[in-house]
Structure 1
Amino acid sequence: MRLQNKTAIVTGAGSGFGAGIARKFAAEGARVMAADINADAAAAIAVEIGGVACTVDVGNAKSVQAMAKQALESLGHVDIIVNNAGVTHLPAPMETISESDFDRVFNVNCKSVYLIAQAFITHMKSRKSGAILNVASTAGVSPRPNLNWYNASKGWMNTATKTMAVELAPSGIRVNALNPVAGETPLLASFMGEDTPERRAQFLSTIPLGRFSTPEDMGNAASFLCSDEASMITGVCMEVDGGRCI
């Protein structure tokens, strides 16, 4: 029960890695707010883990502020924030990606981290403690062609993690990131272009351990980094990728 008596917000908790992280946090004793743009998905996870559901558009300032208000009212305080919500564009040459797709990727993957920091950092500073975990991607460490602006958004998240960590450390706030390889999530087909046995085999051949990241893998890594066991760890961008980035 490494998160006993902790409170946590997990964005994008309605499915995929976010759901895995929310489940693991609850199993480790945390009181979890499952936040997602899909209200039904957030509610389902919240019921399953005995948590709190929140409908949020993480790229919208008013929506994030409403989430912060609900979190403080329902949880009392916030110990942990997991910035997991993310989107991608379909694989294509960089010059062909539409401006609307570009804006969507950077709103959800990057601007959300800024908006959530605005909404919660003052609260965490007042408590002189907190753990923030950003879910980036191996795409931000070892970029692949035709996912250019998604790659860039995740590289941004890794750099943001380090600059947040060094600035917030004197306030007792730790900031780390996870860099998963693709997994069995709603984004998998988008990453590969199409979900076929041939495309899966091609992708898996680049992962030394021979499998995708799972929500359980992410939950295990996240629960450690957000626990007091990792109290000396900040600014780390941990690869959960089966050796993909070696």
Structure 2
Amino acid sequence: MTPAADVTNKRILITGGASGIGAASAKLLASRGAKVVIADLSEEQGQNVAKEAQDNGFDVKFQKVDVTQADSVKALFAFAMKELGGLDVVVNNAGIDHKPAPMHELSDDDFDSNIAVNLKGVWHCMRASIACMAPSGGGHVINVASVAGLRSSPAISAYSASKHGVMGLTKSAAVEYARANLRFNAVCPSFIDTPMVQNTLAKLDERGQNAIIKASPLKRLGKVEEISSAIAWLASDESSFMNGHAFTLDGGMLA
């Protein structure tokens, strides 16, 4: 019997693969038979994730990338195409946040860096995905956005703006490239227990921490495994009629 969310022999590239959702997704997909390339700016962490997977008998390779730089992204995709022999799925997960602050106190640097990584970085990777996948019959691009890209997000306005932009790119590309058999969807988690969220929590007082942890009706942070399982389903052929969708995993926050 074929298992649910079967990704056997799928050729998958994941950015932001050195930790959090990206690392969890790489390990899960590889454990189910996918061939995976992970990419990240953090070379040591990325190499460690790849080695751990390889030690367990899984096919995971690492390549350093700076998604804000078009040439670095092109080099990454050339590496992935060579190592994997093509691409079936690309997961654009690389992202950053910023310290919560009122909009009028947010620095230009914080705004610019969030747009550069979270939005322009995704755009660079989407363009490269299209160039690699369209000539070979299509594929699936999964952008990791956020509930902050679907609703108001006080105190994290730059992050929210970048994730709203990702949703715009996702929906536009989904329609524009559907006839080329290229699908584009977004995963929109709420607060997940990742190093990035823990870093944010560390900057807040107890009241702020509780507000984040209890933001959803389930009154807890999400787990990376809950998001990686959703990404695995999207990466499988079971999601073949989903296109231009915001796959929301928020514990009921937007209900």
How far apart, CA to CA, are the structure 2 residues paired with 1:222 and 1:69? Answer: 23
Alignment-derived partner of residue 86 in structure 1: 95
Give 1:199 shift. Answer: 3.5
User: What residue in structure 2 maps to residue 23 of structure 1?
Assistant: 27
**SS of the residue 2:12 aligns to:** strand
Q: Paired residue for 1:112, among 110, 114, 121?
A: 121
Alignment of 1:61-140 (within 5 A): 61-140=70-149
Deviation at 1:20, TM superposition (A): 1.2
Q: Secondary structure in 2 aligned to 1:78?
A: coil
Q: Do the aligned residues in 2 keep the contact of 1:59 with 1:111 (CA within 8 Å)?
A: yes
Looking at structure 2, the residues matched to 196 and 129 of structure 1 have their Cα atoms a distance apart, in angstroms, of: 47
Question: RMSD in angstroms over aligned alpha carbons?
Answer: 1.6
Q: Deviations over 1:39-71 (max 9, x none)?
A: 011111111223110110011111111101111
Aligned equivalents of 1:83, 1:241: Cα separation in 2: 19
Identity %, equivalent residues: 35
Shift of 1:190: 5.0
SS in 1 for 2:152: coil
1:4 to 8, 15, 22: 8
Q: Once the two structures are superposed, what CA deviation does each residue of 1:58-116 show, in whole Å capped at 9, x if it has no partner?
A: 11111111101111111111111000011111111212222222111011101112211
CA distance in 1, matches of 2:206, 2:234: 34
For residue 35 of structure 1, what is the aligned residue in structure 2? Answer: 39
Residue of 228, 237, 242 corresponding to 2:246 = 237
TM-score w.r.t. the length of structure 2 is 0.91
8 Å Cα contact 1:19-1:215 kept in structure 2: no
Q: Equivalents in 2 of 1:93, 1:174: separation in Å?
A: 36
Report the Cα offset of residue 188 of structure 1.
1.1
| Runs of at least 5 residues in structure 2 that lack an aligned partner in the other structure | 55-59
**Alpha-carbon contact 2:110-2:158 (below 8 Å) kept:** no
SS in 2 for 1:178: strand
Q: Residues 41, 66 of structure 1: CA spacing in aligned structure 2 closer, same or farther, 3 A cutoff? A: same
- 2:111–2:158 contact (8 Å) kept in structure 1: yes
TM-score scaled by structure 1?
0.95
Separation (CA, whole Å) in 1 of partners of 2:166 and 2:200: 18
Tell me, in whole angstroms, the C-alpha distance in 2 between the residues paired with 1:145 and 1:156.
17
Give the whole-Å Cα distance in 2 for the aligned partners of 1:117 and 1:133: 9
1:25 & 1:69 partners in 2: Cα distance?
21
Determine helix, strand or coil for the equivalent of 2:162: helix
Q: Distance between the aligned counterparts of 1:80 and 1:15, measured in 2?
A: 19
Give the corresponding residue for 2:49.
45
1:223 partnered with 2:227: no
What secondary structure, in the 3-state scheme, does the structure 2 residue paired with 1:52 have? strand
Count of matched residue pairs: 246
Contact 2:8 2:32 in 1 (8 A): yes
Distance between the aligned counterparts of 1:77 and 1:64, measured in 2? 16
**Does the Cα contact within 8 Å between 2:183 and 2:244 map onto a contact in 1?**
yes
